[in-house]
């Protein structure tokens, strides 16, 4: 008999959330029937054909506005008054400790009522959310209303920046299980919940689809081109990267830098590029599809990501699977995958001198060095991030009765 579960995401599909799409497809391949539910995303700009297909399969809570949620809320009040009062009390509790006012948490309760109705009609026995923010609060409230048990995946760094305001401890305690994407992520969750709940926290890595890297060329790219993939925002460190590029230019080192992505800091980054006269050396692509990201990675000799805060960027594992070494910071879960001198270059976050040294070392590396590092990167990424292996772990967690989830011996998978 096919087991039915639901996935709940704040916005889906999304250009930066292709890993969720891959995970859903891989869990479906494990024999699950999945109901896709999101708050928003029906009218977002989509550049990827696979995302367009996912959008057609997704139901959207806010498509009819908040007013459209009054009827589900009233029905839950009538059908399950005890559960409603319990969920209302939980919403008040989350509001007292949160950054957002009570009105937001009451809207979350309304959204939860719709989640309960949809998942119950679908026959879902479990709900899984991504990110420990409002999406997880909504499925937690849905469970309190009498809905299915829930779990959620924590990625960071947002959850680590404000764990108390997000009520991470409450969300973990009430969950059937909680997924951390790295050992570092697991350790951060341990900080905010009592030891008796540690057994709920399991490690499941983000996965890579074999089709993404199966035909990647064995030979390294000889062009003096580096690519940085990510939203143009403060945490990714692109401004520091422009400063480092200016230093390379002053030294007379030939290079090309591609900033693949878009975001709120684009204008500021473009201003710094113009300030240093680097328009001929640095190119910003804007939002691009997963296929175009792959093409940009393959056209570069390495990927550079000078992040200030992370969980573990999916693009790091993607670049490595494509046999591209990675230049990045030794923060969060990154050193669990990137090994300095073996499959990439690690440097301290914010250290422009070490960033310049790493870029210079990569640009001067011989084809033999790049090939060796690229092959090491490929082997490590595929071994640790096979989507089939990780989906099997999730499927096992989804299949365990709620009362017996995640014994301590299975948390470090």
Q: What per-residue confidence (pLDDT) applies to 48?
A: 83
And the tokens for 32?
């699950």
Q: What per-residue confidence (pLDDT) applies to 404?
A: 38
Q: What per-residue confidence (pLDDT) applies to 402?
A: 65
What domains are there in the chain, each with its CATH number?
3-207+387-410 (3.40.50.2000), 211-384 (3.40.50.2000)
* Cβ atoms of residues 137 and 171 within 8 Å: yes
Q: What per-residue confidence (pLDDT) applies to 413?
A: 31
Profile the chain (413 residues) by mean pLDDT over runs of 10 residues.
Answer: 92 91 96 98 88 96 96 97 98 96 98 98 98 98 98 96 96 98 98 97 96 92 97 97 98 98 97 98 94 96 97 96 98 98 98 98 98 98 96 95 43 33
306 CA to centre of own chain: 17
Q: What per-residue confidence (pLDDT) applies to 412?
A: 34
Q: What per-residue confidence (pLDDT) applies to 1?
A: 63
Q: What per-residue confidence (pLDDT) applies to 171?
A: 98
């Amino acid at each position: 008999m096919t087991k039915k579960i639901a996935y709940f995401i704040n916005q889906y599909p999304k250009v930066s959330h292709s890993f969720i799409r891959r995970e859903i497809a891989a869990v479906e391949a494990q024999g699950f029937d999945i109901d896709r539910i999101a708050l928003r995303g029906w009218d977002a700009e989509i550049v990827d054909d696979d995302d367009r297909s996912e959008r057609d399969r997704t139901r959207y809570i806010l498509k009819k506005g908040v007013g459209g949620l009054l009827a589900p809320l009233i029905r839950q009040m009538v059908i399950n008054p005890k559960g409603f009062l319990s969920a209302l009390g939980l919403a008040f509790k989350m509001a007292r400790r949160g950054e957002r006012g009570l009105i937001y948490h009451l809207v979350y309760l309304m959204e939860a009522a719709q989640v309960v109705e949809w998942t119950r009609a679908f026959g879902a026995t479990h709900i899984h959310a991504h990110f420990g923010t409002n999406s997880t609060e909504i499925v937690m409230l849905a469970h309190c209303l009498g809905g299915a048990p829930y779990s959620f995946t924590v990625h960071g760094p947002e959850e680590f920046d404000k764990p108390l305001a997000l009520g991470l401890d409450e969300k973990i305690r009430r969950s059937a299980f909680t997924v951390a994407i790295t050992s570092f992520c697991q350790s951060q969750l341990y900080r905010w919940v009592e030891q008796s709940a540690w057994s709920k926290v399991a490690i499941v890595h983000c996965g890579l689809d074999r089709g993404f890297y199966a035909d990647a060329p064995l030979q390294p790219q000889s062009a003096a081109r580096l690519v940085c993939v990510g939203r143009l925002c403060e945490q990714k460190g692109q401004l520091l990267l422009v400063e480092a590029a200016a230093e390379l230019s002053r030294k007379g080192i030939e290079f090309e830098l591609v900033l693949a992505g878009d975001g709120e800091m684009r204008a500021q980054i473009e201003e710094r590029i113009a300030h240093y006269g680097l328009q001929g050396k640095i190119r910003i692509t804007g939002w691009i599809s997963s296929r175009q990201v792959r093409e940009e990675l393959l056209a570069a000799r390495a990927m550079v990501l000078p992040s200030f805060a992370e969980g573990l960027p999916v693009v790091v594992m993607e670049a490595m699977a494509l046999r591209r070494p990675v230049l990045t910071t030794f923060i969060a879960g990154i050193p669990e995958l990137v090994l300095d001198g073996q499959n990439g270059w690690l440097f301290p976050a914010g250290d422009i001198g070490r960033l310049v040294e790493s870029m210079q070392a990569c640009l001067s590396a011989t084809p033999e060095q790049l090939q060796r590092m690229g092959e090491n990167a490929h082997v490590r990424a595929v071994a640790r991030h096979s989507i089939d292996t990780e989906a099997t772990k999730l499927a096992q967690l989804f299949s365990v009765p709620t009362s017996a989830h995640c014994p301590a011996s299975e948390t470090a998978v």
